Structure 1
Amino acid sequence: MLLNKYIDHTVLKADATALDVEKICKEAIAHDFATVCVNPCRIAQAKTLLKGSNVGITTVIGFPLGASTSETKACETTNALKNGATEIDMVLNVGAMKDQNYELVLNDIKAVRQASTGHVLKVILETCLLSDAEIIKACQLSVEAGADFVKTSTGFSTDGANIHVVSLMKKTVGDAAKVKASGGVRTYQDAIDMIKAGADRLGTSGGVAIVNGQENTEKY
């Protein structure tokens, strides 16, 4: 199975340097990945490096906690798109989800959806912090708000993607949205397992290792 277009080749660590971004962009071009995923301050650099390629630019909004205000997330999204981002991965307001404040969660996603009209929007649920019932509800709210994807994880919390949550998310959204698995997807077999479970996109720092069928021991 060709996996390159499933992959958002990712570098989001706080200490990621310009050289790290240059490296993943070169790798993304070489392997024709779907996108690179970089922090907002690295978008302009990635845009320059990826010019003339088919590789898109994903950035993260409200990252990694999801606790920014909706206005801040919308402003961040507008700025990211202005700088050259093509896809938006926003973090769900996890605390509001735990509070069962569904109106806030819904409107939070809607604010980013409105700011990102015409671009792919993925909602990061941080599934390791949610119960199955909360995951289902978060998926439903994401679809209601008009998101294109629901995404498992930031890669910065207590756990990442697993087959159970990916399957649950896919079962919940059906054909209304797609699923992105991220966090801990490091090997070719990890990738295949997530795709079989229902993932349409993979967020990983190990894209090259995956397409080469090699183990990548780096933590995303």
Structure 2
Amino acid sequence: MNLQLLKELHRHIDVSCVRAENTMDEIRQMILNAKQYQFICAFSMPCFTPYLADALKSEPHIHTGGVVGFPSGADTTLSKVQQSTQLLEAGCQELDMVMAVGALKSKDYQYVEQDIAQVVQTAKKVPVKVIIETAYLNDSELETACKIVSEAGAAFVKSGTGWANIPVSADTIRKMRTAADAHVKIKAAGGIRTLDHILEMQEAGCDRFGIGVQTAVRIMAEAEMRLGSLERV
């Protein structure tokens, strides 16, 4: 058991309200939860991002995250660059962009790399996490996607948007960790429901976990109980 991870778990969790149906009331609740647990980053859909950034500006340890090309990744590169610019101007300190999944599957690798690289260049020092939607990729496509993300200069390769109905697995994380360059971190997202799932993926090489805020709060309660029982031994 990784006691250090349990103690610092909140600093490895990005919380989100990025479903189409999420409301302003849910965004407000996420902000309260983010402040309570000091999660490392919080995400909303772009229409709520200026509000989210303003609410978190007094919390230096909680980043505001923005989603780009979300959830399909099929926006034009110009659109993704414009979205990135707007989100950065709104106060975002991290960007999670969706790769052009269909272009990758069509083997238009140059387009995919340039699409990512232009967002990375727009973001400058703000870290970009590239969502490759592993649920839709075979092993060869997954490997290629991770290599392209690495070449394009992104900070993270991320497993999914969470909109696919296939939970991310530790095996997928291992494949991503093997394929990506060593300096590129791994973020898991999609179907993360338990502390044990997180611990398994951390063992496989995962650095960050994207979780819906209600589930994240439940996992934090589970972690606190687990940590308490271990410290009493």
For Structure 1 versus Structure 2, the TM-score category normalised by the shorter chain is: over 0.9
Which residue of the partner structure matches residue 187 of structure 1? 194
Which residue of the partner structure matches residue 137 of structure 1? 144
Q: Quick one: which of 41, 45, 56 aligns to 2:63?
A: 56
Q: Whole-Å Cα distance in 1 between the matches of residues 218 and 159 of structure 2?
A: 21
Pair 1:155-2:162 in alignment = yes
TM-score by length of 1: 0.94
SS in 2 for 1:59: strand
Which residue of the partner structure matches residue 110 of structure 2? 103
Q: What do the CA deviations read for 1:147-206 (whole angstroms, capped 9, x no partner)?
A: 000000111124231111111101122422000000111211111111111110000012
* Larger Rg, first or second structure (1 or 2): 2
Which residue of the partner structure matches residue 217 of structure 1? none
Pair 1:176-2:191 in alignment = no
Structure ranking higher in helix proportion: 2
Q: Whole-Å Cα distance in 1 between the matches of residues 160 and 180 of structure 2?
A: 17
Q: Partner letter of residue 129 of structure 1? A: Y
SS in 2 for 1:46: helix
- RMSD between aligned alpha carbons? 1.1
Q: What do the CA deviations read for 1:99-157 (whole angstroms, capped 9, x no partner)?
A: 11100000000111111111010000000100111111101000100000000011112
Flag the 1:160–1:116 CA change in 2: closer, same or farther, 3 A: farther
Q: Whole-Å Cα distance in 2 between the matches of residues 117 and 95 of structure 1?
A: 26
Unaligned segments of structure 2, at least 5 residues: 1-5, 224-233
Q: Partner letter of residue 73 of structure 2? A: G
Which residue of the partner structure matches residue 208 of structure 1? 217
Q: Contact 1:154–1:160 at 8 Å: present in 2 too?
A: no
- How many residues are paired up? 214
TM-score by length of 2: 0.89
Unaligned segments of structure 1, at least 5 residues: 215-220
Stretches of 4+ aligned residues off by more than 3 angstroms = none
Superposed displacement of residue 42, structure 1: 1.2
Give identity over the alignment, percent: 33
Q: Quick one: which of 30, 43, 46 aligns to 2:49?
A: 43
